[in-house]
Structure 1
Amino acid sequence: MNPRLDSLHPYPFERLRQLFAGLAPNPQLRPISLGIGEPRHATPAFVLQAYTDALHSATQGLASYPATAGTPALRQAFAAWLQQRYGIAVDADRQTLPVNGSREALFALTQAVVNPGNPQAVVVCPNPFYQIYEGAALLAGATPHYANSDPARNFAVDWDAIPEDVWQRAELVFVCSPGNPTGAVMPLAEWQKLFALSDRHGFVIASDECYSEIYFQGEAPLGGLQAASQLGRTDFRNLVMLTSLSKRSNVPGMRSGFVAGDARILQQFLLYRTYHGCAMAPPVQAASLAAWGDEAHVAANRELYRQKFEQVTPILAEVLDVALPDAGFYLWAGIPAALGMDDTRFAQELYVRQHVTVLPGSYLARATPAGNPGAGRLRMALVAEVDECLEAAHRIASCVEQLRGQ
């Protein structure tokens, strides 16, 4: 077996299962989970219809192997969406590729980018982070370096804290904007700083933007390609953005997204994917094409999240350190120091007393010399319907009051 597998950490949800092992939740309350970021709004009917129609089509069904690069029409849909959403022009054939969800692409891109012959290779990850970044780096033979988020700057990554020798060894840098779990959006000045570092040291930037269409305040979040274009980097050198339909269109089970950016990197990535065997099924391509071409369902989906955050956040702000995020569907909440307990203990108490599941923030981050930036915080995914999220908020508030009264 590949010895690098031994370096992988348990996934946060396995750690959560172990944390709750042997605990008995309040049997008088129905379970509510805010622990997993899985969209639970209804899939648009027209997307399902496009999938069904293609499945039963003689030309789009399952009777032939699909091309790894997808159909020209699908790649044109990607390019049209990028133009509509970000005002940028890309070459659909050379600068876009379909992927089976951003998670698969994040992992695969890392394997394609990192040089296996360089034992000093570093992959920079935001901290807290999506654990695929770390696992992909480790299995590629690189060393992850964790760049802590700064609560004083709305959880923006502190790029200035990364030592020069790390930048010199970096081959890939992950950006997640809007962030998981913090919801922070990276502004143009931060992108400019990162591009300058990439030019100096030659690393590739992977911009994970799967939460870009869920926002509630002001303008839509700035994207990586958009930032590059505004700064005159229209070739998108050393930059690949990754996005997905899972959150935007409520189709997590379809596993559909795309990557776009530097044509030189995507040419090599396509070669890798040809061997990787990850072509998108024709019915999924047809449904994806339909989804990328419609914005009405995206606006309706965004409104549902806006309503939830508008009603839930004030309730939780009474008892936790929490505020409306820039974007995304998570609340990143701090536990009151007066309770005298860490995030794992609070998660246990909440589960037992109120039958509500949340994810301890420390499970989403790694310890660094400056500490674990997720310690003392909770990630709550507001993916259920409004009433269920409201009930969960009231139960969390009750739990905090119970613990204060002890």
Structure 2
Amino acid sequence: RDRGALVVSDECYLELGWTAQPVSILDPDVCGGSSEGILAVHSLSKRSNLAGYRCGFVAGDERVIAGLVELRKHAGLMVSGPVQAAATAALNDDAHVAVQRERYAARRELLAQALISAGFSISHSNAGLYLWASRGEPALASVAWLAERGILVAPGTFYGSAGAEHVRVALTATDERVRAAVSRL
């Protein structure tokens, strides 16, 4: 921001912090009370389980947002009326977010303990809908070991070289499937 660069914060997991409550880049303690040069991108796919709806919003620098609105008009992209209504309902209801959070927290706890018991370590999993797990071996070896047990995960290499020894374990399976995976670990 000091150099005139636009700072864009992906805040899709803002309400899904596990070890601490994440803080928005637009929090006055973070941005110094000014949203100039800052955008926060939010999605309802995580907090409200509306992934297929493709809806969210951008908050922050009014000047930049005005430009985005103008650009969007000419791009021919429009969120349908029913999806806008669903998004409005979801944004006006925090109760379902608390229920989702509790559900994911329970899955997270079960999977983390089972993975640790199976020799994995968990790291960089302070927020979000997944766990980063490692057995200190190449990611594909862990993928194969888990697949032999009927558990599908993404190799960390999908997300860059830093994930070479990690797998990404999603918390998005049903409670029944999570319990089944835990029993196989």
Q: Same fold (TM over 0.5)?
A: yes
Q: Shift of the alpha carbon at 1:392? A: 1.7
Equivalent of 1:328 in 125, 128, 142: 128
Q: Shift of the alpha carbon at 1:243? A: 0.5
Match of 1:211 in 2: 13
CA–CA distance in structure 2, aligned partners of residues 239 and 275 of structure 1: 23
Q: Shift of the alpha carbon at 1:334? A: 1.3
Structure 2: stretches of 5+ with no match in the other structure: none
Matches within 5 A, 1:4-403: 198-199=1-2, 201-218=3-20, 220-226=21-27, 229-231=28-30, 233-318=32-117, 319-322=119-122, 325-336=125-136, 341-351=137-147, 353-365=148-160, 372-395=161-184, 397=185
Task: Name the SS of the counterpart of 1:243 in structure 2.
Answer: strand
Q: Shift of the alpha carbon at 1:393? A: 3.2
Cα deviation 1:349-368 (Å, max 9, x = unaligned): 432x2222111101111xxx
> 2:143, 2:155 within 8 Å by CA — same for their partners in 1?
yes
> 1:208, 1:241 within 8 Å by CA — same for their partners in 2?
yes
* Structure exhibiting the larger radius of gyration computed from Cα positions: 1
Q: Shift of the alpha carbon at 1:210? A: 0.9
> 1:358, 1:378 within 8 Å by CA — same for their partners in 2?
yes
CA–CA distance in structure 1, aligned partners of residues 157 and 35 of structure 2: 34
> 1:239, 1:262 within 8 Å by CA — same for their partners in 2?
yes
Identity of aligned residues (%): 34
Q: Compared with structure 1, are the counterparts of its residues 316 and 350 closer, same or farther at alpha carbon in structure 2 (3 Å cutoff)?
A: closer
CA–CA distance in structure 2, aligned partners of residues 329 and 232 of structure 1: 26
Cα deviation 1:5-64 (Å, max 9, x = unaligned): xxxxxxxxxxxxxxxxxxxxxxxxxxxxxxxxxxxxxxxxxxxxxxxxxxxxxxxxxxxx
> 1:335, 1:378 within 8 Å by CA — same for their partners in 2?
no
Task: Name the SS of the counterpart of 2:33 in structure 1.
Answer: coil
Cα deviation 1:343-391 (Å, max 9, x = unaligned): 123313432x2222111101111xxxxxx21110110101112231132
Q: Shift of the alpha carbon at 1:236? A: 0.7
Q: Shift of the alpha carbon at 1:232? A: 5.7
CA–CA distance in structure 2, aligned partners of residues 273 and 207 of structure 1: 20
Q: Shift of the alpha carbon at 1:328? A: 1.0
Cα deviation 1:223-262 (Å, max 9, x = unaligned): 1111xx1146333111111011111111111111000111
Aligned residues: 184
CA–CA distance in structure 2, aligned partners of residues 342 and 248 of structure 1: 32
Higher relative contact order structure (alpha carbons within 8 Å, sequence separation ≥ 6): 1
CA–CA distance in structure 1, aligned partners of residues 18 and 58 of structure 2: 25
Structure 1: stretches of 5+ with no match in the other structure: 1-197, 366-371, 398-406
Please report the TM-score for the alignment, with normalisation by the length of structure 2.
0.91
CA–CA distance in structure 2, aligned partners of residues 323 and 234 of structure 1: 33
Q: Compared with structure 1, are the counterparts of its residues 206 and 232 closer, same or farther at alpha carbon in structure 2 (3 Å cutoff)?
A: closer
Cα deviation 1:73-106 (Å, max 9, x = unaligned): xxxxxxxxxxxxxxxxxxxxxxxxxxxxxxxxxx
